Amino acid sequence: MMSRPILKSPRTSGISPRHLPADRKVHLNKSEPVFGRQGKVGSSLALEQSDKTVTFNEKVNMRVFQKEESVPLSKKFESLLKMLTDGSMDEGVLAGCLRDCGEKIAAFDRRLEAVVNALLRSVWPNPSPPLQREYESFISALLTAHCFYTDLVLKVLIAQFLPRNATSENQNDTSYSSMEGANFALTVMKLVLKIVPIYRCHFPSLLKNGLPFLWKSKEDHHFYLRNLLHVSVDYPDIRSDIFLIIFDRLLELDMKCSREDLLSLQAEELPDAVFKMDIDSEPDESQHCSQVLDILMQEMCNHVHKVCHPNGVLDVKEMQQLFKDMWSVFERLVLPARSSSHVQFLLFYLTSFHPQLPDAFVDNLWKIFERPSTPPIIRQLSVGYMASYLARASFVSFSLVKACLELFCSWIHCYIDSQDNSEKAYPSRNLHRPFYAACQAAFYLFAFRHQEFVHRHKRISFLQSLNFERIVSCQLNPLKLCHQATVRNFASVTRHYQLAYCYTIIERNRRSQLPTVILDQTLRIQENTNEPLEPFFPFDPYLLPESYEVIKELYREYKEPQVEEPKVETKENEEDDFLNGEDIGESNTNAVISDLLGYSISPGFLHRS
């Protein structure tokens, strides 16, 4: 009986480079280091390299890859990896490399991560259409066989969200190759998240890690923001997460350029050249952040308008969904950030598109204020947003302003009733912060828009029904603990229309400025509870010049009141405390109102030195 010949298994055949035909040998430099994990690399291709010319012969048998630790991996990928990192391959050779690797993708385990990384990065920044097709096929095969490479693939794609040409002559224009590369990266992202959909929950964290450093150029920030907004359009289910990333960076920039710094910069510059600087000078922190914030705010406003008007016509459904996403980010990030001066204007701009949105915005803020479980400082900020928004938004109907003013006063009267016969019915900023915040909001809103309330007799009757006199004379003494400039503005207007008499109380408060303090454990003064409530008017005048062009048509500038003082016939021995102005040292009511409003630091009022 004849014995069968023993055939050697391909896995143990011991194929090595010296067994390959002469026309398929790889020239390796033994002194070069081996790339890859555990110091091992493998090869799926046979290469010939001479005089910097690389050619691919026929497809190579993949039996050289052995998964057993006892069998060393081939060093053929060492040369391939070197050429990939050096960028010495042309597009045709690289396309063939991706095609061959895609056909034998099973061999690309974790030990070949360095080679996979080099392959993923080799086609950028501007691959041709044939190379794009091979790249997509390779990634599809790679992630189908080895999903653990998803993180690496996404990081490589996100890296294309930054412009490549940082040295172009015109720094204001992003290079065409960078735009084309970013668009292709967005296309590949759709493929990746379709193959591995579970990675959507991890995707926003990768996008946040890819943000440019704060001191990068405004072109870098602008280019990255545009691509983030493209991602938010492609994946509406994670749009709120992407908005969190965007708003967080906007707030970071906004807080580094304070309102005082911007005003000083504008005072130093020429009137027709805001933020102009010398050619050889470097912008300081505030100047750089303001320039970056300005261009990002302009891009965000354009995006908001584009989403709500997809075909040039307002899409109410898209608008409502966008408002919902932006409100969730506003409530989480912007509302608690007291130092923000400009980011909140994105909601201001969005709510101008439809009459329903101002109602929804104000209603959401009031619900936060009304909720007893809300921290007192957040309640103060929310009602401050309401008053500032209603005073500044020119698109808000007067009926909404009237309803909110009535709402403020009704809540204040209920709070006063609840403090009757209470042991805590005394002025204290810490005990009654929401009360003083509501009073300050009512005083500010009425002082800012009082002219619209006095055109008709019915509106005067409405103001009388608000019972301002009871509010200012209650035991909690809001005229003492509200912001004093706002109090003076309110007092001058209410005195003119005989709605309340505040100056006697203001003078008494001025004469009794005895501090009430809280001591810490070391008996040091921790806080003065009798200090007035700090002013918070988040919709102060907008100071960024480029993006202000979008806001200015919707913004209400403060106008000094034009009130004619009525002529009253009085006897020589009659005392007229309302008209003589003894309490405030002025005889003309118009001058009083104008002067007091001019000295206020609130958003609607002018600054005077």
What's the per-residue H, E or C state across 452-520? HHCCCHHHHHHHHHCCHHHHHCCCCCHHHHCCHHHHHHHHHHHHHCCCCCCHHHHHHHHHCCCCCEEEC
Q: Is residue 406 part of a domain?
A: yes
**Co-location of 453 and 572 in the same domain:** yes
Residue with tokens 């403060």: 558
Residue that wins the pLDDT comparison between 43 and 374: 374
595 belongs to a structural domain: yes
- Identify whether residues 333 and 280 lie together within a single domain: yes
- Per-residue HEC secondary structure of 264-319 comes to HHHHHCCCCCCCCCCCCCCCCHHHHHHHHHHHHHHHHHHHHHHHHCCCCCCCHHHH
DSSP code, position 174: -
Is 90 inside a domain boundary? no
Pairwise pLDDT comparison (583 vs 384), residue with the higher score: 384
Cα–Cα distance between 64 and 15 in angstroms, integer? 6
CB-CB contact of 23 with 57 (8 Å): yes
- pLDDT, residue 420, reads 83
377 and 345 belong to one structural domain: no
Rounded Cα–Cα distance for residues 312 and 307 (Å)? 10
pLDDT above 70 (res 13)? no
My answer on whether 427 and 568 are in the same domain is yes
* In the predicted structure, residue 29 carries a pLDDT above the cut 90: no
Between 458 and 239, where is the model more confident? Answer: 239
Q: 0.75 cut: is pTM over it? A: yes
**For residue 223, is it within any domain?**
yes
Burial 423-441 (b: 16+ CB within 10 A, else e): eebebbbeebbbbbbbbbb
Nearest to 390 by CA among 367, 406, 410: 406
Whether residue 129 lies inside any domain: the answer is no
Mean pLDDT of all residues in 350-376: 96
Q: Which residues span the domain enclosing 291?
A: 201-354
Q: Are residues 281 and 238 in the same domain?
A: yes
Domain count, the chain: 2
Lowest mean pLDDT segment, chosen from 467-471, 497-501, 514-518: 514-518
Is the residue at 476 inside a domain?
yes
The first and second tokens of residue 112, run together, are 């070949």
78 three-state secondary structure:
helix
| Domain end call among 301, 323, 354 | 354
Beta-bridged to residue 528, according to DSSP, are: 517
CA angle, 292 then 294 then 297, to 5°: 105
The string of pLDDT tens digits covering residues 526-543 is 555 678 888 899 998 999
**Exposed / middle / buried, residue 596 (Cβ in 10 Å: 0-12, 13-18, 19+):** buried
Q: Final residue of a domain: which of 327, 354, 381? A: 354
Closest alpha carbon to 269 in 252, 291, 253: 291
Same structural domain, 467 and 586: yes
CB of 293 closer than 8 Å to CB of 257: yes
Same domain, 328 and 386: no
Q: Cα separation of 199 and 190, whole Å?
A: 12
Under the banding of pLDDT at 50, 70 and 90, the label for residue 223 is very high
pLDDT in tens, 446-478: 999 998 888 777 788 899 999 999 999 999 999
Domain boundary among 354, 377, 401: 354
Task: Read off φ and ψ for residue 345, nearest 5 degrees.
Answer: -70, -10
pLDDT at 519: 58
Residue 244 predicted with pLDDT over 50: yes
Residues 288 and 397 in one domain: no
Q: What does the pLDDT average to over 305-332?
A: 95
User: Does residue 387 share a domain with residue 316?
Assistant: no
